[in-house]
Amino acid sequence: MKKRIAKGHDKKNLIPERSWKSFVKLALFLYLFILAIQLIKKASGGIAPDAKQFIFSNLSPLKAIAAGWFSTSVAQSSGAVSSIAISFVGNGLIDLPTAVYILIGASMGTTITALIIGLITVTSKRKDFRHGFEIALCYSIYSFFLVFIVFLLEYFFAFFSRLSLYLAILFEGNFSYLKVPDVVDIITAPITQSLIGFDNVLVTFVIAFLILIFALKYISRAIVEVLGGEVKAKIFINDYFDSPIKAYLIGVILTAIVFSSSITISLLVPLAVSGLIGLRRSIPFILGADLGTFTDTFLVSLIVGETSAIAAAFSYALFAIIGAMIFLPNTNFLFRATKFTSKKLIKISRKKALYVLLLFVLIPLGIIVFF
């Protein structure tokens, strides 16, 4: 028999109250999560600095896409790769169409961080692992379709090169001195700078992954606790993800603030594992995050101050805008494509997810080497 709730009480009294300790714990785990990703990005950049010139020289459109894809996969930062491409086009080392192709590849490569997060997230059930990994898988599938569409538009019509250059000319010279601080870099710099000082890059990687695994293990619990328990957490998700447009805007704003879609989209993985959010409601947020990541690229172009650099940055934003125009009204397509890939095509498990991750890196590398 069901127990009756005593008179004078209601369901709200059954929900755990939030305390300042809950917020402190969440802030700590979020900081560790961001710190780990920043360490991985910075350590990756020190592996082969001389390879940048080799990769970006004399590129065909296909190789340029593969170079952007592979470089971003290794560095786990589309911002880092796009910054290099924008600096190069601003300095005349590469032309604008080549930069556009590199940025197309970078938009694909940036999805690897979410795939890694989905792979290493600790779960007790295979179903929970699948739910978390599907968030990352959806981001990759969306990026794959978008890369294909964007490539065709650029290759046959030079759509992004022409439109972005037109937009850049309108704004030429107006923002070259604008500087907005990178919030993530500011809060992590004291620790990352000391750890990056190690001569052994592998040590930094190991430290970063240990921090990442620890943070991921507890971050979902902290989020639930801050939201007042599982019941209130589900209410919060329903309130803020109750419409595609609202979820999309949240994705844009949050990603613009932290300068990284890798961070914001990866944060959905533990929420999905905990059952707080499903794939269908996550898709508009993913589309929004794809646009939000434009902020750091745009700021780099403003500092470079060249029309071609600003044009390259505008093209990066146009990719995401085109993606939203196509897929935001058709989120069900991405949902079905992800579920089909996860359940039918690869029948996802942790071992098969690792194969997906390896293929994700080997495919662009193969294009660079053999084409």
CA–CA gap between residue 275 and residue 281 (Å, rounded): 12
Q: What is the pLDDT of residues 263-302, one digit of tens each?
A: 778 778 888 887 778 899 899 999 999 998 888 788 778 7
Per the domain annotation, does 30 fall within a domain? no
Per the domain annotation, does 166 fall within a domain? yes
Q: State the residue range of the domain holding 355.
A: 50-182+227-370
Per the domain annotation, does 245 fall within a domain? yes
Per the domain annotation, does 79 fall within a domain? yes
Q: Helix/strand/coil (H, E, C) string of the chain?
A: CCCCCCCCCCHHHHCCCCCHHHHHHHHHHHHHHHHHHHHHHHHHHCCCCCHHHHHHCCCCHHHHHHHHHHHHHHHCCHHHHHHHHHHHHHCCCCCHHHHHHHHHHHHHHCCHHHHHHHHHCCCCCHHHHHHHHHHHHHHHHHHHHHHHHHHHHHHHHCHHHHHHHHHHHHHCCCCCCCCCCCHHHHHHHHHHHHHHCCCCHHHHHHHHHHHHHHHHHHHHHHHHHHCCCHHHHHHHHHHHCCCHHHHHHHHHHHHHHHCCHHHHHHCHHHHHHCCCCCHHHHHHHHHHHHHHCHHHHHHHHHHHCCHHHHHHHHHHHHHHHHHHHHHHHHHHHHHHHHHHHHHHHCCCCHHHHHHHHHHHHHHHHHHHHHC
Per the domain annotation, does 45 fall within a domain? no
Residue 333 reports pLDDT greater than 90: yes
Count of structural domains within the chain: 1
pTM: 0.73
Q: What is the pLDDT of residues 124-142, one digit of tens each?
A: 777 888 888 899 899 999 9
Q: What is the mean pLDDT of the chain?
A: 79
Q: Residue 235: what pLDDT?
A: 60
Percent of the chain with pLDDT over 70: 77
Per the domain annotation, does 1 fall within a domain? no
Per the domain annotation, does 204 fall within a domain? no
Per the domain annotation, does 36 fall within a domain? no
The answer to which of 10-14, 237-241, 266-270, 333-337 has the lowest mean pLDDT is: 10-14
**Residue predicted with more confidence, 277 or 328:** 328
